[in-house]
């Protein structure tokens, strides 16, 4: 089958743009046509910025003609609808922001745009990034390109589905408790959650500020390294972004992982793990052995408490962050309100969906004066224990290998009425956010019924190079990332 433009990775398209085999306008048109043809089935886009995209592409083509190019010049990308984009509606998947047009853009997008990237549009997500299935979006669910009866994962479901459906060359998502890695795993793409502080969150709508991070979703590991390199680094507008040099992530992809010490935490290889996931992990371990890695059995003893800890801290922070949606300055304002308090109550009641309301209630409860010590403070203490689990483990190993999710993608509707089951699907991704370190999800196999299964590599803080190098070596030795969902 001949390669279509929409099938290309960033580095492949970059080469074709450089050699003038295709122009950015052609590439952008190809992606827009692909979105038009496939999105009625997938639902990954909330907004398509067609005119803007073509205008950006023309500018990029002029830069290419002048020889002023970088890796991202003329590359068509799309963003989760949590990233503010100046002049382009940004909803965060919520009715309360259905009419919100931001006056400025997120730093991460500014950086990509500054390198000549083209914006195709804004992607579907769980409302305020709360969810694991993309079903809490007020725009309806996005669907898994491998089986449209299944969820694409969440909350960056549209970001993963758009990559898997080849509607965008790459996308950005956010990860508070797994929202980049879990959808990447379910859709068969690469997704990286950088270390807390590695990437600016300025202009990214806040969910849980001590956990949120921005990261790429891509076709392969090289693209992931390219995007991370472009968005990482200190931003004076985000005091939590760390002022440390950004390594050349692409140069780290040497293919050599001989002697790399990989930890296998016993708490992550439990009974009840889906048999297809189990088999995929066993094969991945074998592949790494052949590549010369050494395996070490390790323990992360507080893993069992991670989900409960996360759902106290994340909801507490969310209840505070979401207080700003009051109908006063922006977003939905109830048209039939009687006075200020009634206006705020009605605006919030009408604007927020069920899952968001549930989280605000849990978080407010956990922070209330009588329960603060019992819930919020306790959760913070357990978070410290979980962090120490990782610090100790990384004294022995360079990276930690685990599944991304306990099962492949589930059916739309299967868990939506059972929040606890939904929350448990993040059991392997949440500890990384609580510990503040980095992790990558990459394609590692398929279930018997044809759904992608991902592998997670967790790295030491600010050591994204090592997990990228290990992921790249695996990718070189396998061809899972080359499989394409038929649409």
Sites of contact with ligand GLN (CB under 6 A): 129-132, 155, 175-179, 207, 314, 426
Q: In the chain, what is the straight-line distance between the N-terminal and C-terminal CA atoms, in Å?
A: 15
CA distance 403 to 277: 7
Q: Which is nearer to ligand GLN, 55 or 308 (CB)?
A: 308
Close Cβ partners of 341 (under 8 Å, ≥ 6 residues apart): none
Minimum distance of ligand GLN from residue 484's CB (angstroms): 26
DSSP state of 417: T
Catalytic, out of 23, 24, 133, 155 = 155
Minimum distance of ligand GLN from residue 154's CB (angstroms): 6
Q: Which is nearer to ligand GLN, 135 or 475 (CB)?
A: 135
* 425 assigned to active site: no
What are residue 218's DSSP bridge partners? 190
Alpha carbon distances (Å) from 373 to 184, 312, 320, 377: 36, 12, 17, 5
141 CA to centre of own chain: 16
Alpha carbon distances (Å) from 127 to 215, 307, 324, 357, 462: 18, 20, 16, 11, 29
Q: Which is nearer to ligand GLN, 119 or 307 (CB)?
A: 307
CA distance 207 to 10: 29
CA distance 391 to 385: 10
**Residue nearest ligand GLN, Cβ-based:** 179
Minimum distance of ligand GLN from residue 136's CB (angstroms): 8
Q: Which is nearer to ligand GLN, 181 or 472 (CB)?
A: 181
Catalytic, out of 80, 111, 122, 460 = 80
DSSP string, 369-384: TTTTIIIIIHHHHHHH
* 210 assigned to active site: no
Q: Which is nearer to ligand GLN, 61 or 127 (CB)?
A: 127
Minimum distance of ligand GLN from residue 213's CB (angstroms): 9
Q: Which is nearer to ligand GLN, 105 or 132 (CB)?
A: 132
Q: Are strands 261-265 and 399-403 parallel, antiparallel or unpaired?
A: parallel
CB contact at 8 A, 113 and 76:
no
By C-alpha distance, which of 141, 219, 215 is closest to 187? 219
**Could you check whether the bond before residue 155 is cis, i.e. omega within 30 degrees of 0?**
yes
Minimum distance of ligand GLN from residue 137's CB (angstroms): 12
Minimum distance of ligand GLN from residue 125's CB (angstroms): 8
* 460 assigned to active site: no
Q: Are strands 438-446 and 452-459 parallel, antiparallel or unpaired?
A: antiparallel
| Strand ranges, E, within 176-221 | 190-193, 213-218
* Other C-beta atoms lying within 10 Å of the C-beta of residue 417: 8
Q: Which is nearer to ligand GLN, 178 or 408 (CB)?
A: 178
CA distance 27 to 24: 5
Catalytic, out of 133, 156, 179, 347 = 179
Minimum distance of ligand GLN from residue 131's CB (angstroms): 5
Catalytic residue ranges: 80, 155, 179
């Amino acid at each position: 089958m001949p390669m279509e433009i929409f099938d290309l990775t960033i580095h492949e398209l970059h080469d074709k743009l450089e050699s003038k085999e295709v122009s950015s306008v052609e590439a952008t048109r190809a992606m827009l046509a692909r979105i038009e043809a496939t999105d009625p089935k997938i639902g990954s886009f909330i907004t398509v910025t067609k005119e803007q995209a073509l205008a950006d592409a023309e500018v990029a083509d002029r830069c290419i003609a002048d020889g002023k190019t970088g890796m991202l010049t003329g590359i068509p990308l799309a963003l989760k609808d949590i990233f503010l984009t100046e002049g382009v509606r940004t909803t965060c998947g919520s009715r309360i922001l259905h009419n919100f047009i931001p006056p400025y853009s997120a730093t991460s997008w500014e950086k990509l745009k500054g390198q000549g990237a083209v914006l195709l549009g804004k992607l579907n997500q769980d409302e305020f990034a709360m969810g694991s299935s993309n079903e809490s979006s007020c725009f309806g669910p996005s669907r898994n390109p491998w089986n449209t009866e299944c969820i694409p994962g969440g909350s960056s479901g549209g970001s993963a589905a758009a990559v898997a459906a080849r509607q965008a060359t790459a996308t950005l998502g956010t990860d508070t408790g797994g929202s980049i890695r879990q959808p990447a795993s379910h859709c068969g793409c690469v997704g990286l959650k950088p270390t807390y502080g590695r990437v600016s969150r300025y202009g990214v709508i806040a969910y849980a500020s001590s956990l949120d991070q921005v990261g790429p979703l891509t076709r392969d590991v090289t693209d992931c390294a390219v995007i991370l390199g472009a968005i990482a680094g200190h931003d004076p507008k985000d005091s939590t972004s760390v002022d440390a040099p950004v390594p050349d992530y692409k140069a780290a992809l040497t293919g050599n992982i001989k002697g790399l010490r990989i930890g296998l935490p016993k708490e992550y290889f439990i009974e009840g793990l889906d048999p297809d996931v189990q088999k995929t992990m066993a094969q991945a371990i074998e592949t790494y052995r052949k590549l010369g890695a050494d395996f070490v059995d390790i323990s992360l003893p507080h893993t069992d408490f991670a989900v409960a800890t996360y759902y106290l801290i994340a909801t507490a922070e969310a209840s505070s962050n979401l207080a700003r949606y009051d109908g006063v300055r922006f977003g939905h304002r109830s048209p039939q309100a009687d006075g200020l308090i009634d206006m705020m109550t009605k605006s919030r009641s009408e604007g927020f969906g069920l899952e968001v309301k549930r989280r605000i209630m849990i978080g407010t409860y956990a922070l209330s004066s009588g329960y603060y010590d019992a819930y919020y403070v306790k959760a913070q203490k357990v978070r410290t224990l979980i962090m120490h689990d990782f610090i100790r483990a990384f004294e022995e190993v360079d990276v930690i290998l685990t599944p991304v999710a306990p099962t492949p993608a589930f059916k739309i509707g299967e868990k939506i009425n059972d929040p606890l089951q939904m929350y448990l699907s993040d059991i392997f991704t949440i500890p990384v956010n609580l510990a503040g370190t980095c992790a990558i999800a990459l394609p590692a196999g398929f279930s018997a019924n044809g759904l992608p299964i991902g592998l997670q590599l967790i790295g030491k803080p600010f050591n994204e190079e090592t997990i990228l190098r290990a992921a790249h070596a695996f990718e070189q030795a396998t061809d899972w990332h080359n499989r394409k969902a038929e649409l």
